[in-house]
Structure 1
Amino acid sequence: MKNLLCLSPILLLAASCLPLHAQPITAARKPADEIIAYIFVQDRTIAPGEVDPKKLTRINYAFANVKDGKVVTGFAHDRENYAILNQLKQQNPSLKVLASVGGWSWSGAFSDVSLTASSRKKFIDSAMEFVREYKLDGIDIDWEYPGQTGNGNTFRPEDKQNYTLLLKEMRERFDREGKLLGRHLYTSVATAGDENFLSHTEMPQVARYLDSVNLMCYDYYEPDSDKNTGNHAPLYTDPADPKHISADASVKLYLAAGVPSRKIVLGVPFYGHVWGNVPATNHGLFQPGNQIKLDANYHSIVDNLLKNGFTRYWDSTAASPYLYNASQKVFVSYEDPESLKLKSQYVLEHDLGGMMFWEYSGDHNHELVNTIAQGLAGSVKPLP
């Protein structure tokens, strides 16, 4: 999951421009804050105790692929993993399990899938079959990105309207099937936090057909494309940041575009980005560097980096932590409990729909998950 940043001015869509035929989803969900975990284990089975279902409201299992216009499994152990995730409902009966379709690597078919009424029907039929076969609660569409090349994907100008049509028709089909099944079927999307994404979609209309818009407020800085270091998931904009980016800026863009606050789920990363050959000025923040290989998910940060020469610093303006190793000249931008506590407060203060994270295996002994759960509960004590 990636973000593409393009923060040039744009004429944002107004909520009043919604077409008259647009209707909100028919089954109201409980107005509780969502905690949505993306789980991406690839070609292995989920280990016992790896996922704590009591802290989650929803799991998006990543990724299902698209082949010949249909939703298909992506990895060898998906069948076993869907069964494992469904078993977690014994511990948390309100937990929902969705298949997330696409992602950065597998979004290449979406433009073709959404192009015509018949191609959309074929895809939606297969999505419904997928939900039934694996006893799921819905589908999350992670199209990266409509109207843009993404990872070298096919794209068209009409993706803008077809993205809306795909999600509208999926919502209508899921509503019909949900009545037969006696339960609500969920639809959601993962979206980039920039003006470029908004200019290539009709998010005020799209949001009406979704349970949540999972806003990816990370990857604002990436070493493979940014030659200077930066906070890759800041809550607020640091005035010293040349790109002037932040989660707060992204949320405000979506609100200004007409997306309801309760539909916005704030996305956070459980991994860091790493630059090498970074000078010591400002402990490496906003300094030149280059991409190097270093495991920097939160688990590795706690168990390895912080014990081996890396010092934690805090950008108080951005509310974002970072690491710097002066002897190795290595800079790491990441997320930790302090920053996530502040983001949880932000979600509550701005009446957002909740938080989601990419992805669960990056956590350290459920520390980040617990921080989010405690923060959204307004608690400072460990949850049971």
Structure 2
Amino acid sequence: MRGISVWASWAPIMALGGLAVGAAALEQERAECPFYTTTTIYMPTTVYVTATEPPTSSDSASGTSSGVSATTTSSLGDVVPSTSSSASEGITSATTSSSAVPSTGVSLSDSGTASFTASLSTSTTAVQEPTSTQVPTSEPVVTSSVTSGIISQFSDEWCSWFTYRPPSPPPIFKGYKNAIYFTNWGTSGNNSYQPQELPVSELTHILYAFADIDANGTVKSSDAFADVGKRYARDEPHNRARGHHAYGVVKQLYLHKMHNRNLKTLLSIGGFDYSPKFVPVAADTGRRRVFADSAVRMMADYGFDGIDLDWKYPADAEQSQHFVLLLKACREALDRFSFQHRLPYHFLITVASPAGPVNSHKLDLVGMDPYVDVWNLMAYDYTGSWDNSTGHQSNLYRSPHHPSATKLSTDDAVRYYEGLGIRSSKILIGVPTYGRSFESTSGLGQAYAGVGSEGGGVLLYKTLPRPGAREMWDDEAKASWSYNDVTRELVSYDTPRSTLYKARYVRRKKLGGAFFWEATGDRGGAASLVNTMSKTLGWLDESPNHLWYPMSQYDNIRWGMPGA
């Protein structure tokens, strides 16, 4: 009883202290984010509000402001679209009476139009209920100085819901990302690699490649058997399976997520083979909508946490603008999906982006950035069979002593992206788990004759160095390669040593992390590139994944894999 009485005596003091801390946090947030006005909706949830245009007479008379865009931040600091925050916090309907502050909000139906209203309340300004004698019905109703103060802080650049997203406050850093691409074709053949082999404890994101695209824009599976058909150990045999279940890679990745709650999975769309299909789809409004909706549908069916767009590459300024519009359609579809299903989760959009200036300078990176959560900077293939001399294929820096071998560098690419205003914490640098071979050459930066018939000169890292070859190190470029004096073959590839320097570079530059192309080529144990990156980065992304997909067409995904 004494413990209870002590708690009761301290409770009012603790409550007052909590209110003081909360007020201080709001003041600090206002100071750090001058682009927004903050308010509270019946609970400790901050809403950032901006409007498209001043209310017209008809809008004001009805007590609403149309075209409002809002994003919310939870009390933990996670940026969450407003379309999901109301459901996640248990708000099913928030309206005001005529004596309350006029509401400012947006509403969304299945078609993306209005039905959600966020009520702005204040305890410092008393608001009088307007009467017919106070305000003529034909004039705008102004009932609060708070509302006019909010309007006065709106940006001069008006925007509308689902057509422009105001820049979000920088998210709280929750650790470095260590991602890897996992391919459906890699599950078969001589060098097959199964999802159970993934080093999930050292990963934060798995990007499953690649989904195909129909002519009408529909995103579809490129290998349904690998995705959901292949039976693994402990899967029900065909003659005993009941219901409509997902097997294959999809089931295994979901199981990984269940046992590793910080592991996220994404559906990667496009790639080299399917990239040409982006061109007509991105150019058409209707097909963009089909693409976005079907991509989200497939993501939900598979129980994934987002989508990855891998378009190699928009060829000109027009295609680049179409890419921006495609990303915008995908962001709207993901936000609409969260809202419709009341999911308190921000589904991701990542982009596989070029590092070389030939392709990166054609992209409207600034226009794309508001819709992109992560830039997967493809910091490899700097040289290959298309060049007239040998060189490093993924060097961190340029080498003054080997300029012909380091025509490009990862540091140059990162500086270019940062120079355009892209936040460094959104950039992941790519690390290849393969090497590029050059035959009949006298060394680095020299002429060569052929790349060999094996894989077009592409060799998996786990097979390197080749027998008889010496492993070399370029301390200026921070890059590895091997050379065989007898066969005169040079192979450029990453090693744990070069990966160590890349991890240190990520930390020093405060980048978002790294990713690997692709899972099949890595080694296990201490020689693993993924392991080296993970251990050197130290703090891996702790943001949670999402497991609830009641709309999935697959029973086991929809039910959360019961009995697994």
TM range (shorter): 0.7 to 0.9
Is structure 2 residue 346 aligned with structure 1 residue 346?
Answer: no
Contact 2:428 2:514 in 1 (8 A): yes
Q: Secondary structure at the match of 2:422?
A: coil
Q: Which position in structure 2 is the counterpart of 1:135?
A: 303
2:365 aligned with 1:203: yes
| C-alpha spacing 1:96/1:378, structure 2 compared with 1 (3 Å) | closer
CA contact (8 A) 2:176 2:539 kept: no
Residue number in structure 1 paired with 2:428: 265
SS of the residue aligned with 1:201? coil
Partner of 1:64: 211
Say if 1:261 and 1:199 are closer, same or farther in 2 by CA, change over 3 A.
same
User: Does the 8 A contact of 1:230 with 1:241 survive in 2?
Assistant: no
User: In 1, Cα distance between the equivalents of 2:386 and 2:321?
Assistant: 29
Match of 1:92 in 2: 260
| Equivalent in 325, 333, 354 of residue 165 of structure 1 | 325
Residue in 1 that maps onto 2:468: 309
CA contact (8 A) 1:221 1:231 kept: yes
* CA shift in 2, pair 1:128/1:25, >3 Å: farther
2:227 match: 78
- Of the structure 1 ranges 79-88 and 25-34, higher mean CA displacement relative to structure 2 is found in 25-34
| C-alpha distance in structure 2 between counterparts of 1:160 and 1:324, whole Å | 40
3-state SS of 2:535 partner: helix
1:22 CA drift (Å)? 4.0
Q: For the residues of structure 1 that align with 2:270 and 2:278, how far apart are their CA atoms?
A: 8
Structure 2 residue 364 is the aligned partner of structure 1 residue 217: no
**Aligned residue among 176, 180, 186 for 1:37:** 180
State the distance in 2 between where 1:71 and 1:26 align.
32
Pair 1:98–1:309, CA change in 2 (3 A):
same
**Rounded Cα–Cα distance in structure 1 between residues aligned with 2:166 and 2:504:** 31
- Following the alignment from structure 2 to structure 1, what is the Cα–Cα distance between the partners of residues 445 and 278? 36
8 A Cα contact 1:298 1:364, kept in partner: yes
- The structure with more radius of gyration: 2
- The answer to whether the aligner puts 1:359 opposite 2:518 as a matched pair is yes
Residue 333 (str. 1) matches residue 474 (str. 2): no
Please report how far the alpha carbon of residue 160 of structure 1 lies from its aligned counterpart in structure 2 after TM superposition.
1.5
Matched, 1:368 2:534: no
3-state SS in 2 of match to 1:136: coil
1:382 maps to none
Q: How far apart, in 1, do the equivalents of 2:168 and 2:530 lie?
A: 29
Structure 2 unaligned runs (5+)? 1-156, 229-247, 541-564
What's the CA shift string for 1:9-34, capped at 9, x where partnerless? xxxxxxxxx99734346995753211
- Structure 1 residues 358 and 130 mapped into 2: Cα distance closer, same or farther (>3 Å)? same
Distance 1:113 1:233 in 2: 32
Is residue 177 of structure 1 aligned with residue 337 of structure 2?
Answer: yes
Contact 1:22 1:205 (8 Å CA) reproduced: no
Secondary structure at the counterpart of residue 285 of structure 1 = coil
- Structure 2 partner of 1:119: 287
Which of 32-41 and 288-297 deviates more?
288-297
- 2:355 alignment partner in structure 1: 193
Structure 1 residue 43 displacement after superposition: 6.2
SS at match of 2:390: coil
Give distance in 2, aligned partners of 1:275 and 1:19.
55
1:14 alignment counterpart: none
Any idea what the Cα deviations from partners look like across 1:47-89, whole Å, max 9, x if unmatched? 3641011111110011111112111111231121111111111
3-state SS, counterpart of residue 296 of structure 1: strand
How many residue pairs were aligned? 345
Query: 1:313 and 1:205 mapped to 2: Cα distance?
Result: 41
CA deviation string 1:248-273 (max 9, x = no partner): 11111111122111111111101000
Aligned pairs for 1:281-292 (under 5 A) are: 284-289=443-448, 290-292=450-452
In structure 2, how many angstroms separate the alpha carbons of the residues matched to 1:25 and 1:88? 31
| Aligned partner of residue 446 in structure 2, secondary structure | coil
The 8 Å contact of residues 309 and 350 in structure 2, kept in 1 or not, is answered as yes
Query: By how many angstroms is 1:44 displaced?
Result: 2.8
The 2-side partners of 1:25 and 1:110 are apart by 28
Q: Does 1:145 align with 2:307?
A: no
- The separation in 2 between residues aligned to 1:266 and 1:350, in whole angstroms, is 11
Matches within 5 A, 1:45-60: 47=194, 49-60=196-207
Shift of 1:189: 0.3
Q: What residue in structure 2 maps to residue 248 of structure 1?
A: 411
**408, 422, 439: which one pairs with 1:276?**
439
Higher mean C-alpha displacement, 135-144 vs 18-27? 18-27
Q: State the alpha-carbon separation in 2 of the partners of residues 19 and 109 from structure 1.
A: 34
TM-aligned CA deviation for residue 178 of structure 1: 2.3
Between the aligned partners of 1:25 and 1:169, the Cα distance in structure 2 is 18
Structure 2 counterpart of 1:228:
389
CA RMSD of aligned residues (A): 2.2
Give the match's secondary structure for 1:105.
helix
**1: distance between equivalents of 2:294 and 2:196?**
32
Would you say the 8 A contact 1:64–1:99 is kept in 2? yes
The alignment partner of 1:106 has SS state of helix
1:329–1:19 Cα change, 3 Å:
farther
* Overall identity of the aligned pairs, in %: 32
The residue identity in structure 2 corresponding to 1:219 is D
Cα separation, 1, equivalents of 2:207 and 2:195 = 18
